Chains A and B, each alone.
Chain A
């Protein structure tokens, strides 16, 4: 460590170049962090450990509702532990650009199926017993500055009130979750409230959008899914049951290769930036070959010179790279999802941060190693003679 001043002085000898190299490495790894986050979001790779749930939808089309009466039939099936149902409400808060997912659910069973939602006990109690109450994810609540007790109107688009007016809800509870994979933008309210309000209308009442089922033995998921679909075969509403994971990844495949292509081009360029800044870093050392020879003359061993040069390039890479990764992490964690629930939750996984850190170190070693080895092999006399 006593040679640290030499390393440091070397970095400072051309301040401008060092700063710009630092900045380009910084930008490259900031990008790397963000790209990894987008990649995960597009492929919806985030999963919740241990959550083995099944999703049952109408066989022909996701938009066709299923009868509410199926609930009891499925519930009494052996191997089914619990069941809940959801309806996509698609309500609009003030104007369409304020989009967030809003759904009508059966409160008690929904909370049983999704224990990963964390809600203060008093709020949970209030929501379950308040017919027009709503449970809101913390991100959406923050976005609009909603607090518990606020009244929120949603304009029905799919489900309309007979008078055409907006649906009024009271925010009773706000949920959060330590699981990053849990979307914190959803808005849930009581199916009962919706179903009773539209009872007089020709369509839509006593129908649900989709069922979510917990099986007793997760290893039997596939068999149970087949059994449920067989129960409703040849009925007016045939079903299609799959694991929640398969359902969600099917959605990601619908978005298709756009995400993949954007990431592919971006990765190519990330590589280019690394190449360019790596080249500058190597250049900075190459042009000092005769100084390295001078150090050898003074009695520095080859190994020590190698370490000095490597220390310099790794220090530069680490400073820029870690700052970039750090900022990417901070952005993802503190700013969150700019699309407000359109994309699945964004998360920069530890795995990807580690991968980034490994690339940082590799960049430092690779850019320093070649010129350092070249320098240490040189005959002193030749090196000293070499013009700048």
Chain B
């Protein structure tokens, strides 16, 4: 018999006898289930946030802001500048004119559904052209606001997360009463956290004069960003910079993602250590309880390597089972969970759903197997080195 056949034989014996060690095997599995669940669960938060922010960006739309502004909140441009920019080359046009949407983004304090306390809700003043520039945004209930009136349309997620923002209701901010006349959707992306109204109504309400914060433009073609950038930098009247939307939203989500990921990896890492220790103990027990069997095999002429492989294989099976159950639990518990949080970088609320993706599950499984193999390694070596005579003599 070569060592490969030996390995298969011993592994088979191991796996079949696992039933007799159900108690300690279950302990190892429980440990790994827990760790994989945390690993996948915490990272699904970061993943959900990332995809909500990323899906918001349209690669054919460029965002133009004042140079050096780190977000729309700190950017600013006059109506005059917005008009100059929209006639630049590289911007798509349709029958009504250039597809350029000047926008004013402010924050209103409005209560959260879940706590009843005020949250920073993003309120965006736009013009009619906005829906043609942001073609991923669709009014699905009610209608678009009318020009010049105190009307708002509300994102699907905003309607869910903040209180009193249902179709047909009205809200009061300061001296102004606003009527909710429509609900819009944007494929579940972060845009659904926003409320939209007429920029011309918002400007005086927030004492902003004729100013905006940013200009979103639909590019004439995917590659015309450079043309536009060139035209912007050569105009001495302007001090602005342009970037594609996905790039902007990726940048706006880095801080929060880093915070979640750091905490998530630290916690899951430490817990993984704990689970490895538990797995080590389990496998030691498994080896100890079978030391006579192993010694017998060795006495019969089985080599050390097949014994090592058999112990590792048992550990791998335990961890795969644990990893699968953990991933399943995480998926059942967290996937699609709707929530919102404050994005530090824009100082406003972002709604998103936790996302347990296949890639994440796969990483969880890999992590589980790594934990199992690490946990099985020392006991496996110990099993292979067991002195045959002493082991056979054991009670």
**Which residues of A line the B interface, CB within 8 A?**
16-17, 20-21, 23-24, 27-28, 30-31, 34-35, 38, 59-64, 90, 92, 96, 99, 155, 157-158, 160, 164, 202, 234, 236, 238, 240, 249-251, 253-258, 261-262, 265-266, 268-270, 272-273, 275-277, 279-280, 283, 338-339, 342-343, 387-388
Contacts and interface: CB of A to CB of B under 8 A. Distances in A.
Contacts of A387: 395
B284 interface: yes
Interface in B41-84: 41-42, 45, 68-70, 73-74
A62 B120 contact: yes
B73 A63 contact: yes
Interface stretch (B133-141, B226-234, B298-306, B338-346): B338-346
Given A20-B280, A157-B68, A255-B341, 8 more contacts: A24-B281, A62-B120, A63-B106, A90-B74, A254-B112, A254-B120, A254-B341, A342-B344
Interface stretch (B91-99, B187-195, B258-266): B258-266
A60 B109 contact: yes
A144 to B, nearest CB: 19
B221 interface: no
B369 to A, nearest CB: 18
A79 to B, nearest CB: 25
Contact of B277 (A24, A62, A158, A258): A24
B154 interface: no
B285 interface: yes
Contacts of A258: 45, 260, 339, 341
Going nearest first, the 8 A-B pairs with the smallest beta carbon separation are A272-B34, A24-B277, A269-B34, A27-B274, A276-B278, A60-B174, A254-B342, A273-B274
Contacts of A38: 263
Contact of B42 (A236, A254, A265, A276): A265
19 contacts: A17-B284, A27-B270, A31-B271, A61-B108, A62-B107, A62-B120, A63-B107, A63-B120, A90-B74, A251-B342, A254-B119, A257-B339, A261-B339, A262-B45, A262-B263, A265-B38, A268-B37, A272-B30, A273-B271
A273 B42 contact: no
Nearest to A257: B339
Given A31-B267, A277-B277, A342-B259, A60 B42 contact: no
B235 interface: no
Contact of B349 (A35, A61, A254): A254
A242 B216 CA distance: 37
A301 to B, nearest CB: 28
Given A155-B68, A253-B115, A262-B42, A23 B277 contact: yes
A59 B107 CA distance: 11
Nearest to A270: B271
Interface string B281-298: 100110000000000000
Interface in B1-59: 24, 27-28, 30-31, 33-35, 37-38, 41-42, 45
A27 B264 CA distance: 16
A276 B260 contact: no
Contacts of A63: 73, 106-107, 120, 347
A38 B263 CA distance: 9
B342 A24 contact: no
A277 B342 contact: no
Interface string B88-131: 00000000000000000011110010110111100000000000
Contacts of B35: 269
